[in-house]
Amino acid sequence: MLRTRRHNPGLAERSAFTLLELLVVIVIIATLISILFVGFGAARRAANAAGDRQAVSGLDLAVTQFRNDNGFEPPLVFDGEPIEMTTGRMPEATQSGMGEGPVFEVDTNRWVVSVWDAGAEDDLEILRQRDASSGMRLGGTGGQSAWADPRYSKYALAYYLAGSLPAIVDGKDGLGMYEPQAGGGFRGVGAVVGRGRTTVDPYVDTDSKSVNLVANYVEPSEPMEHGGVSVMDQGQIDAFTTDSLARFRTALTDRNGIAYRYYRWEHGRYDSTKMETVVERTSDLNIPAVLVDPTLYRETLDDPMSVVDVTGGNPELRGAKYAIVGAGEDGLFGTEALSVIQEALGRGASGMSPEAEAELRRQVQQDNVVEVGG
Backbone angles phi, psi at 52, to 5 degrees: -65, -45
pLDDT at residue 298 is higher than 90: no
Which sequence spans correspond to the domains of the chain? 33-373
Local confidence band at 193 (pLDDT 50, 70, 90 cut-offs): low
Question: HSE of 281 in the Cβ direction (CA atoms, 13 Å)?
Answer: 15
pLDDT at residue 241 is higher than 80: yes
Strand partners, 259: 253
Local confidence band at 302 (pLDDT 50, 70, 90 cut-offs): confident
Collapsed DSSP state (helix, strand, coil) of residue 111:
strand
Alpha-carbon separation of residue 87 from 114, 222, 224, 341, 344 (angstroms): 16, 12, 11, 21, 25
Rounded to the nearest integer, the mean pLDDT of the chain is 86
Alpha-carbon separation of residue 33 from 27, 28, 39, 134, 324 (angstroms): 10, 9, 10, 63, 39
Question: HSE of 336 in the Cβ direction (CA atoms, 13 Å)?
Answer: 22
What digits encode the pLDDT tens for the residues 304-361? 778 889 999 999 999 999 999 999 999 999 999 999 999 999 887 777 888 899 999 9
Residues in the chain: 374
Cβ-in-10-Å burial (0-12, 13-18, 19+) of 247 comes to middle
Backbone angles phi, psi at 280, to 5 degrees: -105, -20
Local confidence band at 2 (pLDDT 50, 70, 90 cut-offs): very low
Strand partners, 179: none
pLDDT at residue 216 is higher than 90: yes
Angle at Cα 101 formed by Cα 324 and Cα 330, nearest 5°?
Answer: 35
Alpha-carbon separation of residue 292 from 223, 251, 299, 310, 365 (angstroms): 22, 24, 12, 6, 9
CB 101 within 8 A of CB 114: yes
From CA 135, how far away is CA 256, in angstroms rounded?
39
What is residue 68's predicted lDDT score, i.e. its pLDDT?
A: 96
Local confidence band at 209 (pLDDT 50, 70, 90 cut-offs): confident
Local confidence band at 96 (pLDDT 50, 70, 90 cut-offs): low
pLDDT at residue 147 is higher than 90: no
pLDDT at residue 194 is higher than 70: no
pLDDT at residue 173 is higher than 50: yes
pLDDT at residue 297 is higher than 80: yes
354-365 vs 294-302: helix crossing angle, rounded to 10: 150
